[in-house]
Chains A and B, each alone.
Chain A
């Protein structure tokens, strides 16, 4: 599936929820259930320090696709990370570079992507794009 298709799927899934409580509960579930990163990658090098929560991101190349793993110490942040990884991991660098994150607004989680929240997510998206750019350069 393309990034766009995955994002549409996510928006569809979220449209089943009636209110914020259900959306949050779903994200918390996502945050709890997924082992998102190998412990060996939870290093300071991979750490994005938000003022509120911490985020770790690791990237690797597999058959010309970028594979991301990530984690956070805050569970709601981690839930959003799970959604972002679902959309971006396993995609070609070029597609990642061109993709946008507007779907996060559509699923009602916009406030978590505000730089003023300082939860590390904005920097994480930047970091995901930077990795994609680096791999794209490497592939060329």
Chain B
């Protein structure tokens, strides 16, 4: 059991007002809020030990390096990676995906096949399309059902000895579906293909065990799990990270440089050229500590309760349709009300202090599938309450009455 009242005190932003109304923040799938403990870590860094890492012998540099590497180990343990150097700091999920897409360029032949799911964020589509253009590889799509579940039968028919790589999100940001990634990974491995899982939406809800999953690459963003924006990690299996070429050249990533030849540093530095977001990495570690103190299982159980509560309440509204009704989903509800454009609902909810996301959620193929311009998306975090859901539903009914 978690004590929501006291947890909410960790998030000063939840006390603010928007348009004169108490803020009800239901856009957690876009960015989660940041607790004091993480903000304090950021302040502590800049007040007390801001310095460049891995290069100075002076005390501040040592302290900053120690904390940064400690954060890497915290994240390693969280995702149960076998080694700390399999955790590469990135600027976020998008960066991690681009690193791998770029790394595979030299490994692909024209006619090689890549498989993507029908419910991906643009971040997990576009880098691969660009890779296909550069290499002549072919992109294939695992289709989904009306409920928003991927067809594993169709997936079977797409896999063959030409498949090199499969990429799919763990949880869909547009629908909330929890995808059967263990099955997806095992089937891909059976034909010798590697798998990248986009964990951006899963990381605040589910603790992924990368070894148990046997996944080759797993990417996340800190800002989805109570950490700062602009930082994330790429987990990669050691053998893969050794095999792939570096993504960017620069300082930090070299062993020796001369004009004749440069040798690269070992992992993880090979993929971490330049001065990283040191403070962001350390704060990411603090965010992981924070959510682990609450407990991922506690978080998931409570959020599930919120999901069921909100789903029941919303379905009482005439004309409301939920997109994404998979058996297994997280606390994301994408919906429309018949005859009303999502933008109009979002604009009125904002006036009433309720923050939701409207639009295509960077998943236009999903909107195209349902033949809709977009949806309203409410996504809940562990600091949301049933009272907030009541207020949100009342605001929604008010918006509906104004608009219809």
Q: Which of A37-45, A74-82, A95-103 contacts B (4 or more CB under 8 A)?
A: A74-82
Distance in angstroms from B344 CB to nearest chain A CB is 5
The verdict on B269 contacting chain A, using a C-beta distance below 8 Å, is no
Q: Do B402 and A25 touch across chains, with their CB atoms under 8 A apart?
A: yes
Residues of A within 8 A of B402 (CB): 21, 24-25, 28
CA distance A132 to B346 in the complex (A): 33
CA distance A51 to B367 in the complex (A): 12
Select the residue from A73, A74, A75 with max chain B CB neighbours within 10 A.
A74
Q: Do B347 and A76 touch across chains, with their CB atoms under 8 A apart?
A: yes
Within 8 A of A (CB), among B8-22: 19
CA distance A2 to B315 in the complex (A): 50
Distance in angstroms from B322 CB to nearest chain A CB is 20
Distance in angstroms from A101 CB to nearest chain B CB is 18
Distance in angstroms from B396 CB to nearest chain A CB is 15
Instruction: Write the A10-47 contact mask toward B (1 if CB under 8 angstroms, else 0).
Output: 00000000001100110010000000000000000000
Given known A-B contacts A51-B359, A52-B359, A74 and B344 have beta carbons under 8 A apart: yes
The verdict on A53 contacting chain B, using a C-beta distance below 8 Å, is yes
The verdict on B223 contacting chain A, using a C-beta distance below 8 Å, is no
Instruction: Write the B327-351 contact mask toward A (1 if CB under 8 angstroms, else 0).
Output: 0000000000000111110111001
Within 8 A of B (CB), among A77-135: 77, 112, 118-119
Residues of B within 8 A of A20 (CB): 19, 351
Interface size on A, residues (CB 8 A): 17
Given known A-B contacts A25-B402, A52-B358, A112 and B341 have beta carbons under 8 A apart: no
Distance in angstroms from B340 CB to nearest chain A CB is 8
The verdict on A54 contacting chain B, using a C-beta distance below 8 Å, is yes
Q: Do A74 and B343 touch across chains, with their CB atoms under 8 A apart?
A: yes
Distance in angstroms from A14 CB to nearest chain B CB is 16
Distance in angstroms from A19 CB to nearest chain B CB is 10
CA distance A87 to B374 in the complex (A): 30
Given known A-B contacts A28-B402, A52-B374, A54-B373, A75 and B360 have beta carbons under 8 A apart: no
The verdict on B190 contacting chain A, using a C-beta distance below 8 Å, is no
CA distance A24 to B398 in the complex (A): 12
CA distance A54 to B342 in the complex (A): 12
Q: Do B343 and A53 touch across chains, with their CB atoms under 8 A apart?
A: yes
A-B pairs under 8 A by CB, number: 42
Q: Do B341 and A51 touch across chains, with their CB atoms under 8 A apart?
A: no
Q: Do A75 and B403 touch across chains, with their CB atoms under 8 A apart?
A: yes
Residues of A within 8 A of B403 (CB): 28, 75
Interface size on B, residues (CB 8 A): 17
CA distance A51 to B359 in the complex (A): 7
Given known A-B contacts A51-B359, A52-B358, A76 and B343 have beta carbons under 8 A apart: yes
Residues of A within 8 A of B342 (CB): 52
CA distance A77 to B346 in the complex (A): 12
Residues of B within 8 A of A77 (CB): 343-344
Q: Do A76 and B344 touch across chains, with their CB atoms under 8 A apart?
A: yes
Given known A-B contacts A52-B343, A53-B373, A74-B341, A24 and B359 have beta carbons under 8 A apart: no
Q: Do B373 and A112 touch across chains, with their CB atoms under 8 A apart?
A: no
Distance in angstroms from A108 CB to nearest chain B CB is 11
Query: Quick one: closest A residue to B374, CB to CB?
Result: A52
Distance in angstroms from A9 CB to nearest chain B CB is 24
Q: Do A73 and B373 touch across chains, with their CB atoms under 8 A apart?
A: yes
Query: Quick one: closest B residue to A119, CB to CB?
Result: B343
CA distance A73 to B374 in the complex (A): 11
CA distance A24 to B347 in the complex (A): 10
CA distance A77 to B348 in the complex (A): 12
Q: Do B351 and A75 touch across chains, with their CB atoms under 8 A apart?
A: no
Query: Quick one: closest A residue to B340, CB to CB?
Result: A75
Query: Quick one: closest B residue to A25, CB to CB?
Result: B402
Query: Quick one: closest B residue to A50, CB to CB?
Result: B343
CA distance A76 to B358 in the complex (A): 14
For B341, give its contact among A24, A53, A118 (CB under 8 Å).
Answer: A53
CA distance A67 to B156 in the complex (A): 57
CA distance A54 to B358 in the complex (A): 14
CA distance A15 to B343 in the complex (A): 25
Distance in angstroms from B233 CB to nearest chain A CB is 28
Chain A residues in the interface with B (C-beta under 8 A): 20-21, 24-25, 28, 51-54, 73-77, 112, 118-119
Chain B residues in the interface with A (C-beta under 8 A): 19, 340-344, 346-348, 351, 358-360, 373-374, 402-403
A-B contact pairs, 13 of them (CB 8 A): A21-B351, A21-B402, A24-B402, A25-B402, A52-B342, A52-B343, A52-B346, A52-B358, A53-B341, A53-B373, A75-B341, A76-B343, A77-B343
The 7 closest A-B pairs by CB, nearest first: A74-B341, A74-B343, A52-B343, A53-B343, A76-B344, A52-B359, A75-B344
